[in-house]
Chain A
Amino acid sequence: MAKRAAPEVNAGSMADIAFLLLIFFLVTTTIETDSGLNRKLPPMEESEDDVIIKEKNIFQLEVNRSNQLFLKTGGEEKIIEIKDLRKAAVSFLDNGGGAGDNACQYCQGEKNPRSSDNFQKAIISLQNDRATHYDTYIAVQNEIIAAYNELRDREFKKANPSLDLSFVEASNAYSDARTAPATKAKLKVKLQEIKDRVPQIFSEAEPKKSN
């Protein structure tokens, strides 16, 4: 049989394929963005006049130098595991033990008179030692934020049943650059309403010196 020359493959479209790949990767590559726990530090100038806070409205946490967590609230003091902290914080915030002016109209807790009055009054305070490990501290912070988010999610769903979003999803949508400005404006109002209803009142005491 006669030897036939192999037909040449047309490589003209190879460039198009390569360009397509280049453009695809250019568009889809997002340089990894950092994420973390946002907090706000208190300003330096402290107001001199002390505010009187009822003891039952404080959820006092202390992390000692060996990374143990102490909880002091409602007249009792105990060691608590970090995994139980979220539940304890939610039940403290959601207690709604106030009466009259202090009554909490959104709380669904057990209305224990020895625990917090309402969302506006409930304060979570955290004190750590200088020798506390950073990862323990972050875990505690994370659980506190989780407790607030849990309540805010609930209130957000109750206030906006039509949206079918949780508070966290809504605030992510709000900070997403792809969301339309009109939607953003609507979300902002709704988010602010929930933030006012369940404010994060969080105080951080200066750490103890460990000698």
Chain B
Amino acid sequence: MSKFKKKKGGEMPAVNTASLPDIVFMLLFFFMVATVMRQNTLMIENKLPQADQVEKLDKKSLVMYIYAGKPSTNYKSQYGSEARIQLNDKFADVKDIAAFIASERASKREEEVPFLTTALKVDSKANMGLVTDIKQELRKVNALKINYTTRKGDALEGLKK
């Protein structure tokens, strides 16, 4: 009779899966944190006006964004408090729009170009002068489909604020 008796049966011990949920949660949190929703960092105040007759802007890949508004507080000392245009991550001038549209078009497939829409994300306090300049510039480069991006809400209510 040996002292070290062999355990009877060749059963495999169950693998402990208690830490599996932790691994899954870690993955979940990683993706939640790593997902970037906004492409551009806004350097301007961008409180959009309200409207209720809106249409959805589907197909994100076919939209070019032009932002405009007053520089936010961090940039005020450098760029003043007049409303300005922001393209991608930089402040831009009206005449930079043509180059911006051209580069956006070049990055898309050729058959997609006619469906490109320009979304104007303009701060509700901006003046129409700036918007008109942008529109003129877009007409020059033949980017005629535009969308005045708004928040959903009653347009008249929005005016009172």
Q: A residues engaging B (CB < 8 A)?
A: 11-12, 14-15, 17-19, 21-22, 25, 31-44, 63, 82-83, 128-139, 141-143, 145-146, 149, 168, 171-172, 175, 177, 206-207
Among A34, A37, A39, A207, the residue within 8 A (CB) of B128 is A207
Among B55, B143, B148, B152, the residue within 8 A (CB) of A141 is B148
- B21 contacts A36, CB within 8 Å? no
Contacts A36-B51, A134-B127, A145-B53 given; does A15 touch B21 at CB 8 Å? yes
Q: How large is the interface on B (under 10, 10 to 19, 20 to 34, 35 or more residues)?
A: 35 or more
Inter-chain CA distance A38–B149, complex, in Å, is: 8
Give the dominant DSSP class at B's interface.
mixed
Inter-chain CA distance A63–B159, complex, in Å, is: 14
Contacts A36-B147, A128-B128, A137-B131 given; does A82 touch B156 at CB 8 Å? yes
- B58 contacts A175, CB within 8 Å? yes
**9 A-B pairs closest in CB distance:** A130-B129, A135-B124, A15-B20, A36-B149, A135-B49, A14-B21, A142-B155, A142-B51, A18-B24
> Is B150's beta carbon under 8 Å from chain A?
yes
Of chain B, the residue at the smallest CB distance from A37 is B148
- A40 contacts B155, CB within 8 Å? no
Q: B residues engaging A (CB < 8 A)?
A: 17-18, 20-21, 24-25, 27-28, 37, 49-58, 60, 63, 117, 119, 121-129, 131-132, 135, 138-140, 142-150, 152, 155-156, 158-159
